[in-house]
Amino acid sequence: MSQVEYGVVTGSAPSLQTVGNDIVYALRKLGKSAICTRFQVPYYKAKLLFQRAIVFIPFDPLCSTTWFVMAKDYAHARIPTIIYTTVEGMPKQKYIRDWYIADLLYIACSNYVKEMLEKVNVPVQDVIYHGVNLDHIAQSEPQKDFLKVNLNAKVVFGTVCSELPRKGLKTLAKVIKLVEDKLPEAKFYILTKTMGRNIFSDMKNVIVDPRFGKLERQKILSLIGSFDFYLCSSYAEGFGLPLLEAQAQGVPVICGEYKPLTEVTTPETALYVPIYDVIYQDDRYGILFSYHLYTPEDMASKIEEAYEIYTCNPEKYQEMSNKAKDHAKQFDILKTYAKFLDWI
């Protein structure tokens, strides 16, 4: 393989690969040569593969140390390198080594991530938001009517997330219980991992699809576009790309009113669930996850409001949908990821 201008070096997790591939897609459309990896590349191989490096990895001082060492090796090998990073809470400062701060250059994916890193004295040079690939959105094939008929639903609320505690699926199950009798024609489509299926056992208006991490990207986008509302139950996020991908397809959002979710949505495109407290939860990583707490009753109220808008006020729903599409265009990957060219 001949040497390219940019190497995006990231892990194999679907969320990392999605962003990594989109960065490469954008750089190529901007006239640069680029590749994305699914694994660490030692510096002596990197020198043969690419001239500059974007290392995209969560800032976890326990799990990501070897990635930081790799980035430091790149810098010493005269490969200009930045670490593009995300985090869903405050890193544990006791695990942060001095050379993380002295030797490495960090770009955050949201203002929230920047704030969390700066709380533990990690300097952040810039914020480059994750972008939405509008070409891929244009190629998606939502099937709203088909999904409604299949689910026997008037309104479909959907989400795509893992079963990890900070994603809030146990709370979402309580929320759905609160509305199932009031809104019998509202259905909830949840794409998650197999373990998440047990959370919603015996719930009559819930469809659990256990193929999280297994579907092709275009199928996920088509599924998100088939929802009437995208429902985000997460307590903690570093960005919230599915919310952006939903809005790009005209799907309004229901989510907690906290950064970074409020950075990628607007009051005109989302129904915000009020947050009553923020706690830092130790889930046995190198991060204290910032749990933004809401009550099931408050989220249930927003679902009822959304149902009312969709069934009784189609003009308002269409306005929300149109504004969602317009808002998402501001996050076009050709705009957001072009900023990398200013840094390396």
pLDDT, position 201? 85
Residue numbers of the chain with a pLDDT score lower than 70: 1
Q: Tell me whether residue 337 is in a domain.
A: no
pLDDT, position 198? 87
Give the domain range for residue 73: 4-128
- Residue 299 and residue 164 share a domain: yes
- Residue 166 and residue 53 share a domain: no
Complete edge-to-edge strand list for the sheet that includes strand 277-282? 89-91, 287-293, 277-282
Rounded distance between C-alpha atoms, residue 324 and residue 204, angstroms: 30
pTM here is 0.96
pLDDT, position 1? 60
- Residue 259 and residue 111 share a domain: no
Please answer whether residues 228 and 308 qualify as being in contact, where contact means their C-beta atoms are separated by less than 8 angstroms: no
- Residue 256 and residue 181 share a domain: yes
Q: Is the alpha carbon torsion for 269, 209, 60, 170 positive or negative?
A: positive
Per the structure, how many domains does the chain have? 2
